[in-house]
Amino acid sequence: MDVKNNTLGVTRCGSAEFIWGRRTYVMGIVNVAPDSFSGDGLVDVEAAIDQGRRFVSEGADIIDVGGESTRPDFTPVSVDEELRRVLPVIERLAGELLVTVSIDTYKSSVAREAVAAGARMINDVWGLKHDPEIARVAADNAVPLVITQNQRDSTFNHLLPELIDDLQRSMQVAQEAGVDWNNIIIDPGIGFGKTVEQNLEIVRRLAELKSLERPILLGTSRKSFIGLVLDLPVDERLEGTAASVAIGIANGADIVRVHDVGPMLRVVKMSDAIVRGR
């Protein structure tokens, strides 16, 4: 797959412009949830804002703010609690920094308030299946929408073909709601109900998702499949994450979502130099 000849166009987030194919963009994760799987959950607004500032200083293009854990055994939180966690962080980061702020939520009411507070991207880990109205929020506000394939409610016999079909259905829902084609970003959903072998296969065959003709976001950072392959706890998965990021970029990833922005930006730059050319 020749990612240098990418023809995916341009996606705009407020004043930011993402020219797909030119380089790989880095999304830094700010979890305002105490039970985050990665161990980086923050409960203090100032700590979350400081982390966002640090990520921007390290080169992040997007800051993804989430207020509810997505770990397999997570405890759902109410809309009011999720808003209480994320809105102050989004307002401050969007007001202080020249960076695209994303809201990581599957609830349309949270997405709507977050966009009003300054978020310029919506990241839906349920791919419009939990609350399809979230697509309308993206359409009404002309902001990009990340559609993630979540396998927690399904079982695939033929992984990549069925995963691609599932993403196509979600993309159709988004378009029918009025989301602009250039504002759709796809995510194969590493984790989210998939086995270790399936996660490895997705990274290995990521280029097949290019058939959908939309930019690909890859989120492997610190995830359990890395820990199971390497037999390491969540705080020792940096090298495993780096390997998956590099191979993901070689296979066509356009955005990587990471916890360790500084080290992963160096991986991205080196991978881009090899894959896309300096």
Asked if pLDDT for residue 3 goes beyond 90, the answer is no
Per-residue pLDDT, 153: 73
Give just the sign of the alpha carbon dihedral 128, 130, 136, 137. Answer: negative
Residue 141 and residue 115 in contact, taking contact as beta carbons nearer than 8 Å: yes
> pLDDT value at position 185?
98
Q: Using CA atoms, how far apart are residues 93 and 194, in angstroms rounded to an integer?
A: 33
pLDDT in tens, 6-15: 579 999 998 8
Q: What is the mean pLDDT of the chain?
A: 93
- Identify the DSSP state of 74: P
193 neighbors 150 (Cβ within 8 angstroms)? yes
Q: Are strands 121-124 and 145-148 parallel, antiparallel or unpaired?
A: parallel
pLDDT of amino acid 74: 64
CA nearest neighbour of 6 among 19, 58, 17: 19
Would the pLDDT of 26 be above 70? Answer: yes
- pLDDT confidence of 41, banded at 50, 70, 90? low
Question: How far does the chain reach from its first CA to its final CA, in angstroms?
Answer: 18
Residues with catalytic roles: 223, 257
Q: Which comes out higher in pLDDT, residue 33 or 225?
A: 225
Query: Where would I find the H helices in the chain?
Result: 45-58, 79-96, 108-117, 133-141, 159-176, 196-204, 224-230, 238-250, 261-275
Give the model's pLDDT for residue 4. 46
Domains and CATH numbers, the chain: 19-275 (3.20.20.20)
- Distance between CA atoms of residues 6 and 103, nearest Å: 27
**Residue 214 in contact with residue 173, Cβ under 8 Å?**
no
pLDDT at 151: 87
Q: Which residues, listed in sequence order, are joined to residue 66 by a DSSP beta bridge? A: 31, 104
Closest CA to 255 of 242, 268, 266, 267: 268
Chain centroid to CA 92? 21
Q: pLDDT value at position 38?
A: 47
d(CA 6, CA 250): 13
pLDDT tens digits, residue range 127-139? Answer: 999 999 999 999 9
Residue whose entry in the numeric block shows the structure tokens 């979890």: 31
Per-residue pLDDT tens digits for 154-192: 788 899 999 999 999 999 999 999 999 999 999 999 999
Between 94 and 40, name the one with better pLDDT.
Answer: 94
Tell me the whole-structure pTM to 2 decimals.
0.93
In angstroms, the CA 259 to CA 28 distance is 6
Alpha helices in 97-223 (DSSP H): 108-117, 133-141, 159-176, 196-204
- Angle between helices 196-204 and 159-176 in degrees, nearest 10: 70
Residue 86 phi/psi, 5-degree rounding, is -95, -35
Q: What band does 207 get if pLDDT is binned at 50, 70 and 90?
A: very high
